[in-house]
Amino acid sequence: MSRAPALLAGAGMLLSTASAHACACGVPGLDTPLTTAMDGWGLRASEGARLATGRMDGQGRYRRFSGDERNLRYETQLLAAYRLVPRLELSSSLGLAREADVAGAQQTSSSGPSDSWARLRFDAFDETPVHRAGAPLPALSFTGSLRAPTAKAGRELNIGLGAWEAAAGLALERSVSARWRVGLSAEGALRAPDRSLGIERRLGPRLTTQAAAWCWPRPTLAFSLSSNLTWEGDAAVRGVAQPGSASRMLQLGAGIVYALPGSVLRPGLAVRQSLPVTGASINSLVATTVELSLSLVSPR
């Protein structure tokens, strides 16, 4: 089965004569690889803005901000990825962030480097071809990441986690037609003890699950839809658990990426909305995030 090189850095795809075997690579707003097995390396620069309009409390009740309240965050990120071997992508990212809480005439703000990441993704198994006998098995990938607390942390406003975080996960993806692909993924993370706030603290574990779908209406254009649920356990201060500090957030997202004809540039746009769903979201902001990105990928 012959394959063509990836046409999209933001949504690389592998084509066969029988069916489209797409890789949901680098679609804005999704934690997918930037490169495909056909590529050597890639770069992506992105600029994001988040506007929070309310907050879910510890009982899952929604409080909408008043007219003179708002929370704003701007973040610029640079992601670099390298295919050590065709099935293994190594990547890292760093960035700058600014966040501000405004309540009437009072404003609290913080700015500086955001947290840095190092990630790896190993594509263990390809999906089984549709013409092969037996169950239609999905593609399986394993992921791992390390988050470094390079951002400033403070008692009033944090632009980073304030602690080291190690995570591991897996992703299942399957093509359901020549144009559509669906996927499920899950990632769990543990946080190291820290003293970023001047006291001994340990953040609770994190679990993130995602369901996503990708569509290629034509080879140079890709769309994505996703739903994420993130849970974080209770934190501990000086070795004592803090009941009611756990959080949950339900988020919907959509993305688009386009390969400019005759160019290696791939602009992308992503929109994410966290939802004020009673029982599903607690201790979390209700916010809209818009992210613009520009990617390029070098084939082998």
Q: Is the dihedral of CA 39, 41, 47, 49 positive or negative?
A: positive
pLDDT at position 2: 37
* Average pLDDT value for the chain: 86
In a domain, 7, yes or no: no
Tokens 């988050």 sit on residue: 147
Q: Is the pLDDT of residue 210 over 90?
A: yes
In a domain, 6, yes or no: no
pLDDT at position 66: 86
63 and 103 Cβ atoms separated by less than 8 Å: no
The DSSP result for 207-246, as a single string, is: EEEEEEEEEEEETTEEEEEEEEEEEEPPPEETTEE-TT--
> What contacts 299, CB < 8 A, 6 or more positions away?
5, 6, 38, 39, 40
- pLDDT tens for each residue of 49-108: 999 999 999 888 999 998 888 899 999 999 999 999 999 999 999 999 999 988 877 888
Domain CATH number, residue 55:
2.40.160.40
Q: For residue 104, how many other CB atoms are within 10 A of its CB?
A: 9
pLDDT at position 293: 94
> What contacts 199, CB < 8 A, 6 or more positions away?
237, 238
Cα separation of 166 and 120, whole Å?
Answer: 12
Closest listed residue to residue 5, CA positions, set 51, 39, 30: 39
In a domain, 222, yes or no: yes
Tokens 């704003």 sit on residue: 72
In a domain, 131, yes or no: yes
Q: What are residue 146's DSSP bridge partners?
A: 118, 166
- How much is the pTM? 0.85
The percent of residues in the chain predicted with pLDDT above 70, rounded, is 87
Q: Which of 96-100, 205-209, 215-219, 257-261 has the lowest mean pLDDT?
A: 257-261
pLDDT at position 14: 31
b (16+ CB within 10 A) / e for 264-294: eebbbbbebebebbeeebbbbbbbebebebb
68 and 107 Cβ atoms separated by less than 8 Å: no
In a domain, 2, yes or no: no
pLDDT at position 18: 27
pLDDT at position 267: 92
- pLDDT tens for each residue of 110-169: 889 999 999 999 999 999 876 565 568 899 999 999 999 999 776 667 788 999 999 999
Q: Is the pLDDT of residue 5 over 60?
A: no
The total number of structural domains that make up the chain:
1
- Which residue range is the domain that position 293 belongs to? 12-299
Q: Is the pLDDT of residue 17 over 60?
A: no
Q: What is the 3-state secondary structure (H, E, C) of 7-46?
A: CCCCCEEEECCCCEEEEEECCCCCCCCCCCCCEEEEEEEE
- What would the mean pLDDT of 220-239 be, rounded to a whole number? 93
* 26 Ramachandran zone, left/alpha/beta (phi>0; psi -120 to 50): left
- What would the mean pLDDT of 163-185 be, rounded to a whole number? 94
203 and 197 Cβ atoms separated by less than 8 Å: no
**pLDDT category, 7, cuts 50, 70, 90?**
very low
Q: Is the pLDDT of residue 11 over 60?
A: no
In a domain, 295, yes or no: yes
Closest listed residue to residue 32, CA positions, set 218, 241, 221, 181: 181
In a domain, 163, yes or no: yes
- What would the mean pLDDT of 177-198 be, rounded to a whole number? 93
In a domain, 1, yes or no: no
**pLDDT category, 280, cuts 50, 70, 90?**
confident
